[in-house]
Structures are given as C-alpha cells and as structure tokens.
Amino acid sequence: MTAAPRFVPIPGNSTLLRAILHAATARPGVQSSTTFDPATAARPFIVGALIQRFGLREMNRGEFVTAAATPEALASDYRDVDLIVDTRTVDWGLLATRDNRLWLAYVGTFRLIDGRTGTVLAEETCSNPEPRSDREQPPVYEAWVFEDAALLRQGLWATANRCADDFISRVLGIR
C-alpha cells in the first residue's frame, strides 16, 4: 500500500514539480509506470533478515496489495501463514524549504504480525528527519529533474534502506 506523493507548491514553478514527478515515474519503453515506493523496497530486506535469522520459509515473493488495514483483516487475507510483514507508505513528498531547496519528506509504517491471531508482534513508524542546516538540504529545485530525477530516486532508496535497517536492528533486535 502506498500513499500518493504530495508536493508543496513552489511559487511560479509548478511546471518544475510536474517535471520532477514525471522524471521520477517515467521508465523508457514501459507503457505504465509507478512511483518508487520505499515501503515496497524495504520489505525484501526485512523478510530476508527474518529468513536468515530464524530459518523461515517465504510464502509470497510477489507484492500483495490489500485494502485491509487492521492486523486481524490482514491475517484473514493471508490465511495459512505464520508471520506477515506489513510495510506501508503513509505519506511522502517533496517539501519546499528555504533558499529554493527541497526536502524529501517520508512517513511509513512497518509491522510484523502473527498470521494466526492477527496480533502485532512488532511495529515501527519511520520518517525522514528534517534537515538541521542548509548543508543538509538537497540542491535547488532544478537538480531534482536531472537524469530522470536520480536525486529523488536516490533519496527514496536511501529512505527504504534506513527504515528497513532500523526496523530490523532496533525493533526486531536482529544484528
């Protein structure tokens, strides 16, 4: 499950934001494409850590999108599994800060659910920290468009890795 990206309007430059989003979602030679989702990218890292640490067997290697929001409803959707890794993007977008700079805001949830009972065994909310200084802020607006929005994709990938690592080590206690 993923939330649609949100963008804070940049005065006089909404065309640039559309260009950033288009560059981030465009894939040459593919008719339809979707925006990169950190929650989807983090899931294999979490599942892999559980498999390696506990010798589990993965039942569903593909993406499984469900409208179920409660742990009990998820357990009902995933019948005959012991553990469910539920990763969701709640909200994300590019926010305008000062000096014509953008900040990648992200909020996601990560849960490990007992598939038999629907009990939440572990849960974490992950978000990108706000920049503390101008040096931590990404470059000016135009930089986000270059090379098919490589800066945005890099930021989303780094977010996925950071959130997965935090959930695996701090919440699940897997080293």
Quick: pLDDT tens for 37-46: 889 899 999 9
pLDDT band at 131 (very low <50, low <70, confident <90, very high): confident
Topology, domain 5-26+35-59+70-171 = Double Stranded RNA Binding Domain (3.30.160)
Report the first-to-last Cα separation within the chain, whole angstroms: 27
Instruction: Specify the pLDDT at position 22.
Output: 55
Whose CA is closest to 103, among 3, 1, 2, 8? 8
How far is C-alpha 74 from the chain's CA centre? 19
Whose CA is closest to 151, among 162, 160, 140? 140
How far is C-alpha 97 from the chain's CA centre? 21
Q: What is the pTM of this model?
A: 0.77
Instruction: Specify the pLDDT at position 10.
Output: 47
Report d(CA 28, CA 138) in Å as an integer: 26
